[in-house]
Structure 1
Amino acid sequence: MKVLFIGGTGLISQAVSRLAVQRGIELYLFNRGQRDEFVPEGAEVIRGDIRNPEEARQALQGHEFDVVVDWIAFTPAHVQADIELFTGLTKQFIFISSASAYQKPQRHYRITEETPLANPYWQYSRDKIACEQLLMEAYRDNGFPVTIVRPSHTYGDTAIPAALTSWAHPWSLIDRMRKGQPIVIHGDGTSLWTLTHNSDFAKGFVGLLGHPDAIGEAIHITSDEVLNWNQIYAAIGQAAGAEPKVVHISTDFITAHTPQGTADGLIGDQAVSSVFDNAKLKRLVPEFEAGVPFAEGVRASVAWFEAHKERCTVDPEWSALMNTLIQKHGTDAKLLSFYN
């Protein structure tokens, strides 16, 4: 197969790019060349900006692809440009949506692809839903060969996955743990969550490339391992070699006492128990099996950061926000105890 990844070097897609090349796929990456260290040997890079449609059209002139995957489309305007650019030029277009698009709050704890899409808490998720609707309309009306893939919380070597963390400086969480500073877990830490290593995600995803039965379908790809947040943070602490000092704070309190938008992903996704049924994926890709337990995966992430000291940066603003949140919570708890 001749496959084009728009992006292809991000947290999730870098693992897929590696596996695609290993499987003998003729892989092209279309991006601006800002993360060349994650381009696998054997992939060809086409320089360009997908947000400039004319530039993209010229850069891709003369190419046709069996599969096109857009890893960096987030709004209906992005996918509308994709539809216009790739109609007639590919046999399959894969849109990377998000499992956060599933109904919040859920009617049933176990999520399938038939679970309704509705998220009133997070604009990111609503935009993904709107993208899906636009693409499925193009499929129904004009035969645009779309497949929708919904990742959930996927991580890899370059991430320390958590709920309340600095996304730009993920080492900040490990730094706090090792310094004996308290960390925040939302609620009582017993809600259920699914974390998927990017190498496991890649196994399912590569199996969907060029799969005729995936056209017109939406499929999520996640691990089958389910942990609660107390277990997740305990595993991070074990990987860091430090016993986490935990402060449990309700999601409502966190939302009310952090800057607007800070907790959208928490209240709109991570605070809600999420257990996924991967039966549909396994029907399409029978060889799929998620083999990296979180305890193993996060140890690899910590080791990767320690081998790349330049990436062990901390976010003082995020750490200050955690300190303020913990202090405010402690003050309010004392006042409540006093008045009771």
Structure 2
Amino acid sequence: MKVLFIGGTGLISEAVSRLAVQRGIELYLFNRGERGEFVPEGAKVIQGDIRKGAEAREVLKGYEFDVVVDWIAFTPEQVQLDIDLFTGKTKQYIFISSASAYQKPQRHYLITEETPLVNPYWQYSRDKIACEELLLEAHRSNGFPVTIVRPSHTYGVTAIPAALTSWQHPWSLVERIRKGQPLVIYGDGTSLWTLTHNTDFAKGFVGLLGHAEAIGEAVHITSDEVLSWNQIYAAIGEAAGREPKVVHISTDFIAAHTPAGTADGLIGDQAVSSVFDNSKIKRLVPDYEATVPFAEGVKLSVAWFERHPKLCLMDQEWSKMLDNLIGKHGIDPKLLSYYV
């Protein structure tokens, strides 16, 4: 197969790119060339910016692909550009949506692809829902060959996933743990969450490339391992080499005492227990199995950061925000390092 990834070097997609090349796929990456260290050997890079429509059309005008995957489309306007660019030029277009689009609050604890898409709490999720609706209408009206994939919380070695964290500097979590500074877990930490390693996600995703039965379908790809947030933070602490000190704070309090937008993803996604039925991806890709437990995956992440000391940075603003939040919750800042 001849496959185009728009992006292809990000947190989720870099693992998929590696596996696609290993499986013998002729892979092209269309991106701005800013993350060359994550381009697998054997992939061909087409440099450009998909957000510049006229430029992208000119660069790609001589190409046709069996499959096109856009890893970085987030709004209906961006998706419409893809429809215009690739109609008649690909046999399958895969849109990366999000499991956060599923109904909040849920009516049933187990999420399937038939769970309604309703998220009044997070604009990111509503934009993904609008993208899905646009693509499915193009499929119904004009036969646009769309497949929708909904990742949940997927991570790789460049991430240390958590609920209230610094996305810019993930190492900040480990830094606070090793310094004995507390972290914040929302609620009582017993709600359930699903974390999927990108190498596991890749196995399911690559199996969908060129899969005729996936056209017109939506499917999520997650691990079957389900953990509480208390278990997740304990695993991060084990990987960091020190038991973490945590403060449990209600989601409402966090939202009221952090900058606007900080808690949107918490309220609109992570504060809701998420357990996924993966029957559909296993039916479409019978050999799909997630094999990396979080306790092992996060150790790989910590080890990767330690091999890249220049990236072991502390997000001071985020750390100060945590200290302020804990202080407002009634903990004396002078006793933070002793709080258990």
Q: Secondary structure at the match of 1:28?
A: strand
Deviation of 1:58 after TM superposition, in Å, equals: 1.1
In structure 2, C-alpha distance between the alignment counterparts of 1:314 and 1:59, rounded to whole Å: 40
Deviation of 1:204 after TM superposition, in Å, equals: 0.2
Structure 1 residues 22-61: aligned runs within 5 Å: 22-61=22-61
Pair 1:65-2:58 in alignment: no
The one-letter code of the counterpart of 2:317 is E
**CA deviation digits over 1:201-260, x for unaligned, max 9?**
000000000000000000000000000000000000000001100100000100111111
**CA deviation digits over 1:180-208, x for unaligned, max 9?**
00100000000000000000000000000
Pair 1:291-2:291 in alignment: yes
The one-letter code of the counterpart of 1:50 is I
In structure 2, C-alpha distance between the alignment counterparts of 1:310 and 1:259, rounded to whole Å: 28
Q: Secondary structure at the match of 1:224?
A: coil
Question: What TM-score results when the alignment is normalised by the length of structure 1?
Answer: 0.97
In structure 1, C-alpha distance between the alignment counterparts of 2:162 and 2:92, rounded to whole Å: 33
Unaligned runs of 5+ in 1: 333-340
Q: Secondary structure at the match of 1:184?
A: strand
Partner of 1:184: 184
Unaligned runs of 5+ in 2: 333-340
Q: Secondary structure at the match of 1:51?
A: coil
Deviation of 1:61 after TM superposition, in Å, equals: 1.9
The one-letter code of the counterpart of 2:127 is D
Partner of 2:109: 109
CA-atom RMSD in angstroms:
0.8
Partner of 1:260: 260
The one-letter code of the counterpart of 1:11 is L
Q: Secondary structure at the match of 1:120?
A: coil
In structure 2, C-alpha distance between the alignment counterparts of 1:192 and 1:52, rounded to whole Å: 41
Q: Secondary structure at the match of 2:196?
A: strand
Partner of 2:7: 7
The one-letter code of the counterpart of 1:2 is K
Q: Secondary structure at the match of 1:172?
A: helix
Structure 1 residues 321-336: aligned runs within 5 Å: 321-330=321-330
Question: What TM-score results when the alignment is normalised by the length of structure 2?
Answer: 0.97
In structure 2, C-alpha distance between the alignment counterparts of 1:181 and 1:53, rounded to whole Å: 47
**CA deviation digits over 1:57-97, x for unaligned, max 9?**
11112110000000000000000000000000000000000
In structure 2, C-alpha distance between the alignment counterparts of 1:62 and 1:326, rounded to whole Å: 57
Structure 1 segments (4+ residues) deviating >3 Å: none
- Cα 1:296–1:57 change in 2 (3 A) is same
**CA deviation digits over 1:77-130, x for unaligned, max 9?**
000000000000000000000000000000000000000000000000000000
Q: Secondary structure at the match of 2:330?
A: helix
Pair 1:311-2:307 in alignment: no
- Cα 1:37–1:91 change in 2 (3 A) is same
Partner of 1:338: none
The one-letter code of the counterpart of 2:153 is H
Q: Secondary structure at the match of 1:243?
A: coil
The one-letter code of the counterpart of 1:278 is N
Deviation of 1:331 after TM superposition, in Å, equals: 5.8
In structure 1, C-alpha distance between the alignment counterparts of 2:90 and 2:121, rounded to whole Å: 35
Q: Secondary structure at the match of 1:94?
A: strand
In structure 1, C-alpha distance between the alignment counterparts of 2:243 and 2:47, rounded to whole Å: 45
Q: Secondary structure at the match of 1:40?
A: coil
The one-letter code of the counterpart of 2:269 is D
Deviation of 1:299 after TM superposition, in Å, equals: 0.3
Q: Secondary structure at the match of 2:188?
A: coil
Partner of 1:220: 220
In structure 2, C-alpha distance between the alignment counterparts of 1:262 and 1:145, rounded to whole Å: 36
The one-letter code of the counterpart of 1:234 is A
